[in-house]
Structure 1
Amino acid sequence: MRMNNKKEMVPKLRFPEYIGNKLKITKLGKISSIVKEKAGENKYILMSVTSGVGLVSQAEKFGREIAGDSYKNYIVIKKYDFAYNKSATKQFPEGYISMLEEYDIAAVPNSIFTCFRITGNESFPPFFNYLWHNNYHGHWLRKYIEVGARAHGALSVDIKHLWSMPLALPDFKEQQKIVDCLSSIDELIDAESRKLKALEKYKKGLMQRLFPAEGKTLPEWRFPEFQGCGEWKAKFIGKVCKMFSGGTPDTSKKEFYGGTIPFIRSAEINKSFTELFITEDGFKNSSAKMVKKGDILIALYGANSGEVALSKIDGAINQAILCLRHETNNAFVYHYFTHMKNWIISKYIQGGQGNLSGQIIKSVKLYFPKPEEQKKITDCLSEIDILITEQSNKVEQLKTHKKGLMQGLFPSIEEADV
């Protein structure tokens, strides 16, 4: 591909002091060198990758180092070197490029990583880290990766296409300015995310004290007005809740889809939107069932089996979701089930294998105080849920703001490919 160095490009967003400065059009192969040094007998911290996060130590990710006999062939990388992981994920289907930040030197598996180093004094490596995190490389590589083609578990991609990737670069100081801007937002996102985790931890601790522990009939804490009100009464969920699951309209019939009825699948039980909508005919000609906003939804199958939510919308559910309706207080049962989720998963979905069923949920025994105490507990935990939702929205807004900034500060691959 012939590069036109005379074509002028202007990012949508730019700091005032750099307005008018031209971007340099180049290729990754011209500003980088391949890293091939092997670990051999030397000892290094061994790294793996978490897509969307970056390089993390194997000890942190897996609880141990997993190199085994292949250790000697691991590739040695230094701080600010990059490792391209050729494994596809949902977020990064063309693979993920990570920069080594936490350590001065480390090693990564040679089987799925291609490593390289940004060279020269005109490029600031963290600038490229943000570029890759925005999946710039994926937009370029996807046209060169054969669908479904893999070699030893990794995407089958000719690395020459990585080196031919076009780049439109500002000068070194502007790269630093962009990194300073984005890293300050990252710090804010991290701070707000910590607040969110603290609220979630606080709620978890409260639930442990407001609901009876396993084998107990009373909670550790009770509100003052309910002290001495006696033991909670044991009841099976099947006796106090109406229960039903749904079904899926025939996917071969297009007329059943694209309607106005939200079709809730197990991964969407905690969302206020759905990806699919079904028609009235699709609903009538299937075993799908309607749920109301505020119903308790439990995921029965799949990766999120055991997850519990209060439905945020009216919609139809499929067979992978169980709906519960308590006779008086859905929210109390929801919070109680949330508290018991780990116990249910460990008992019925051991090792992440297996599914739940209506019969299993029906047999779960909960303890109920009088309605007035149920309401007090529900009000307390629901107030915390409001704070958690507000904080979660704050984090998402910051992430959206950052994404918009990156789209403005970095040219698209189409713009760079001139």
Structure 2
Amino acid sequence: MSSKLKTTGMKEEATPALVPQLRFPEFRGAEGWKIERLGNLFSDRQEVGLTGLPLLSLMDKEGIVPQEQSNRKNTSNSDKSKYLRIVPGDIAYNTMRMWEGRSAYVGLEGLVSPAYTVCEPRSGVHSLFFAYYFKAPQLIEQFRRYSQGLVKDTLNLKYAAFSRISAPSPTYPEQQKIADCLSSLDDLIAAQGRKVDALKSHKIGLMQRLLPREGETQPRLCFPEFQNSGEWIEQRLEDLAKRGSGHTPSKSYPEYYNGGIKWISLADSKRLDCGFISDTTIEISEKGIQNSSAVLHPEGTVLISRDAGVGKSAVMSIPMAVSQHFIAWACKPGLLSNWFLYHLLQNSKPLFERVATGSTIKTIGLQFFKDLVFCVPLLPEQRRIADCLTSLDDLIAAQTQKHEALKTHKKALMQQLFPTTEAVEA
């Protein structure tokens, strides 16, 4: 459903007003949103010389935070006399990146770089509402259109251009209602995010107790039925699993590709560390395997990345091939559980990161994997540990999906709460 255009008074004197697709019940009979210039809603706060205030930074997700919490190198000038004061209720935006929607509601008093523009709300303006509104695609498109510069890296939206942008705006009570709704949803999303983070931290801590630390032969925590099983045995991984290599078929032959065989490459980095891997960005063909060193590894094979994102691992849910950036391990029956190996590799990430070498792209030499040893228990205990950690992974995945669903819901809700129309010309 598209936004509706309303007019009031005589047709030739009509002032266009827009109605969003979704409106709270108490505003459904009210007038439409009126077109306003942003310069009539916000003034340009230009307060400088207050060098005693803390330095703040604008983050993509966290918004305005103290600079020391931004994890960014402090490149600010020692002379803060030209830095801009911001106060709670302002909206600050990155002048060079507003075309990307790089703005945030201000909840702290402090100083920001002169590279920011500070918008002070005028009377009757609910700035938190506009902080959300400034993230809507229709306004980001306006910010892009009004930004000046020849290429993206030089685009800038100074206040003079910002002030000329027109946007539909509701009354203050409706602004507040929308802001309260979206703010409550943000609180719910943040709480769900913390739940996911807590589960991930719990899994890391549990994994470190259920598996031996470097230099130790027994874990700190054992299941009751295995407490008298004795020390785990140190063995070479190559004695417990068959090591398989990867290869990239020649791209000079199109017939080697798009043949329905899943082929794991560096393009699939985001699909790793999530347990099963069942899909890939690129597929190869039977000809691609027959005319190269590529191998179709069986279902259940455990792979690990030795380049660019070293230590990332997964378990193949179907037969797959891999590029030369990966090593594939087919566990020997009766000796090693593939899911136990997956969790061993996950727990060994600090080791992999430590031994990786290279300046631009980190890599681990093949000899390291040939010599790699792990302390392992008998198969029943392996399976018990793997089942525990895999169940926790399933819980994390379910809670992560809920987190993503909430973010998707917010995005869809915003599309309905703000009018969708062609950019209003000045």
Offset at residue 185 of structure 1 (A): 1.5
What is residue 3 of structure 2 aligned with on the other side? none
Q: How does 1:9-408 map to 2 (within 5 A)?
A: 9-20=18-29, 21-38=31-48, 40=49, 42-62=51-71, 66-86=75-95, 94=100, 96-101=102-107, 103=108, 105-110=109-114, 112-121=115-124, 123-134=125-136, 136-143=138-145, 144=147, 148-150=151-153, 155-159=154-158, 160-244=160-244, 246-248=246-248, 260-262=260-262, 264=264, 265-270=268-273, 276-278=281-283, 280=285, 283-284=288-289, 290=296, 294-302=300-308, 304-311=309-316, 315-327=320-332, 328-348=336-356, 354-408=362-416
CA RMSD, Structure 1 to Structure 2 (Å): 3.3
Q: Structure 1: state its 5+ residue gaps.
A: none
Offset at residue 319 of structure 1 (A): 3.9
Between the aligned partners of 2:287 and 2:92, the Cα distance in structure 1 is 48
Offset at residue 97 of structure 1 (A): 0.8
SS at 1:301 equivalent: coil
Between the aligned partners of 1:379 and 1:233, the Cα distance in structure 2 is 20
* Rg larger for: 2
After the TM superposition, which of the residue ranges 328-337 and 191-200 deviates more from structure 2? 191-200
Identify if the C-alpha distance between structure 1 residues 202 and 14 changes in structure 2 by more than 3 Å, giving closer, same or farther. same
Identify if the C-alpha distance between structure 1 residues 118 and 404 changes in structure 2 by more than 3 Å, giving closer, same or farther. same
Between the aligned partners of 1:145 and 1:184, the Cα distance in structure 2 is 36
Asked if structure 2 preserves the Cα contact closer than 8 Å seen for 1:299 and 1:322, the reply is yes
Between the aligned partners of 2:414 and 2:65, the Cα distance in structure 1 is 24
TM-score in terms of structure 1 length: 0.83
State percent identity of aligned pairs: 32
Q: Structure 2: state its 5+ residue gaps.
A: 1-6, 8-13
Offset at residue 312 of structure 1 (A): 5.5
Between the aligned partners of 1:117 and 1:247, the Cα distance in structure 2 is 58
Between the aligned partners of 2:342 and 2:227, the Cα distance in structure 1 is 24
Aligned length: 402
Between the aligned partners of 2:162 and 2:280, the Cα distance in structure 1 is 33
Between the aligned partners of 1:50 and 1:312, the Cα distance in structure 2 is 38
Question: What do residues 258-294 of structure 1 show as CA deviations (whole Å, max 9, x unaligned)?
Answer: 6645554223325667683435378446666555664
SS at 1:33 equivalent: strand
After the TM superposition, which of the residue ranges 270-279 and 185-194 deviates more from structure 2? 270-279
Letter in 1 for 2:211: F
SS at 1:62 equivalent: coil
Between the aligned partners of 2:425 and 2:318, the Cα distance in structure 1 is 44
SS at 1:218 equivalent: coil
